[in-house]
């Protein structure tokens, strides 16, 4: 899971008025890892229901899978090693209200879950889940989320039965958060 949080999230600027499937295709990728290493490889983007599936194959043989949620001209991507379970949430920030949608890598064809958080406009502290709707569109949940700002990233902690940690990036008024869980090794953002 550590790789998920080190590499975390990717926001791509896309044509805001283009069709939903205009990102589908194969791309050449070059970049720099959070550790400063250069990489090259191929990226394949496919659309599955309301999600995009993103597959990386790097020249060194490493492979990663990702799921993405597109909101307007932004694509929030959470990714990890091919055998990793993870998720992505994308929130529109309006002061202290974060209104978003989420999905995880377990079920690509379900509807998107919905979540509205209420808290400080500083994007730090305890946020109440004002609306939490599971991906079945029927069952709801409540609780709180801890957010801690760390320079240009945001650490998220969901203190649920199976706790989750996430790392987010803010672009304009959109906050994308990649998350995963490993109960044996999790600590809150302050710990």
Rounded distance, CA 90 to CA 176, Å? 4
Backbone angles phi, psi at 6, to 5 degrees: -75, -40
Contact call for residues 92 and 70 (beta carbons, < 8 A): no
Contact call for residues 15 and 25 (beta carbons, < 8 A): no
* Segments making up each domain of the chain, as ranges: 2-180
Q: Is the pTM of this model over 0.85?
A: no
Q: C-alpha distances in angstroms, 59 versus 3, 42, 56, 163?
A: 18, 8, 10, 34
Cα-Cα-Cα-Cα dihedral sign, residues 123, 129, 133, 134: positive
> Can you read off the two tokens belonging to residue 98?
């974060």
Q: For the chain, 191 residues long, give each residue's pLDDT as a single digit of tens.
A: 233 333 333 444 333 334 546 889 999 999 887 778 899 999 999 999 889 999 989 999 988 889 999 988 888 999 876 677 889 999 999 999 999 999 988 888 889 999 999 999 999 999 999 999 999 989 999 999 999 998 889 999 988 887 889 999 999 999 999 998 753 333 333 33
Contact call for residues 182 and 90 (beta carbons, < 8 A): no
**Nearest CA-CA partner of 189 in 175, 171, 177:** 177
């Amino acid at each position: 899971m550590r790789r998920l949080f080190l590499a975390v999230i990717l926001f791509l600027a896309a044509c805001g008025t283009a069709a939903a499937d205009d990102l589908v295709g194969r791309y050449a990728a070059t970049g720099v890892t959070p550790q400063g290493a250069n990489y090259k490889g191929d990226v394949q983007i496919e659309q599955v229901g309301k999600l995009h599936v993103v597959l990386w194959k790097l020249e060194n043989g490493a492979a990663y899978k990702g799921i993405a949620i597109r909101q307007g001209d932004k694509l929030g991507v959470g990714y990890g090693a091919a055998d990793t379970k993870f998720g992505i949430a994308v929130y529109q920030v309006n002061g202290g209200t974060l209104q978003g949608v989420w999905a995880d890598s377990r079920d690509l064809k379900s509807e998107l879950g919905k979540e509205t958080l209420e808290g400080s406009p500083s994007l730090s502290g305890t946020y109440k889940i004002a609306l939490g709707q599971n991906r079945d569109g029927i069952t709801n949940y409540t609780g709180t989320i801890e957010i801690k700002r760390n320079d240009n990233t945001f650490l998220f902690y969901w203190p649920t039965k199976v706790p989750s940690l996430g790392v987010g990036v803010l672009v304009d008024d959109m906050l994308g958060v990649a998350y995963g869980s490993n109960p044996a090794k999790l600590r809150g953002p302050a710990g």
